[in-house]
Structure 1
């Protein structure tokens, strides 16, 4: 399978992380913003929604959207809960990640990290994203208090999904991660999983 991946993107990273942890072989095509690789992938029609990540299956079908790709690759692995209720809870966190968490945590990181987004990084917008992001991290802190993983008794796709942008929230986004001890302990547990790879690996 071929993964069209933006190296600096958490949405692409979460798929590379799952593949590394689950031993799933992927050919990775780097498509960083503004790169020739990204333009070539678009020109070849390899990106169904015009953006990465996208996963080309062996038969030529291409899947889009990071969490849909996670579900496809994760089904049947240890990261896919057998219990249907736990599985629904996992999916709930994954929907929450794309609808609530990513548009705030990831966007603030992008505004302060990417030169082409600098014009949008007004003080008012950054302050708003910071306050909203801390509230979202507070939701995770409450959920993780007294437990190892977001759902059930084992690591799942929900953890990998939310790890992607949360583990860089302090370094790249300026969020005050020292406020969230349970989140930090959870980040350490994910980083200690056998086969873990870093964003920049």
Structure 2
């Protein structure tokens, strides 16, 4: 299996972390997002959307979208609940991550870390902090009585939300204000097979 990704990307890190937790062998192909390597003809032939990450299977099939990829990788594993309602809760958090969490936490990080805070995006950055604070507060409140997002079971929901939450400070968010998130991050990092973003 080949994984095409940028190691600084939380979406790409989800794939790396899931593969490590499941002890699945793969080949990492580094793609420099800022150098335009997702816009080359060679890459667009694999993913016409021109985004990261993608995986390429041994038979040549290609799968995009980080949460779809980790769902494929984790099929029939303990990372997906067997109870149908709890499985639906996992998907609920996966959708939340992509539609509510990532658009503010990850984008603020992109503006600060990747782009170096250009003046023309400052107002957007400040607006993202208002939205992002609400998202982090929601997570912190949820985690008051949850070890993981679905309760006691570590699932794909934790992997997806961990990816950008643990580096939220790189987008200007102060996680010291969210003690339950901090404990949850530690719980994730204690999982067998855990690997850091740059490990």
Query: TM class, shorter-chain normalised?
Result: over 0.9
2:86 corresponds in structure 1 to 86
Gaps of 5+ in 1: none
Gaps of 5+ in 2: none
Q: Is the 8 A contact 2:37 2:43 kept in 1?
A: no
RMSD: 1.8
2:64 corresponds in structure 1 to 64
* Separation of aligned partners in 1, 2:76 and 2:132: 33
| TM-score with structure 2 setting the length | 0.93
Q: Is the 8 A contact 2:43 2:50 kept in 1?
A: no
| TM-score with structure 1 setting the length | 0.92
* Separation of aligned partners in 2, 1:14 and 1:107: 16
Q: Deviations over 1:139-194 (max 9, x none)?
A: 11111112201014210000000000000002x01112111111110001111212
Give the count of matched residue pairs. 199
Do the aligned partners of residues 126 and 37 (structure 1) sit closer, same or farther apart at CA in structure 2, a change above 3 Å counting?
A: closer
Q: Is the 8 A contact 1:56 1:63 kept in 2?
A: yes
Confirm or deny that 1:175 pairs with 2:177.
no
2:195 corresponds in structure 1 to 197
Q: Deviations over 1:90-143 (max 9, x none)?
A: 001000100010000000000001137735431x22221111111000111111
Q: Is the 8 A contact 2:143 2:149 kept in 1?
A: yes
Show the 5 A alignment for 1:95-114. Answer: 95-114=95-114
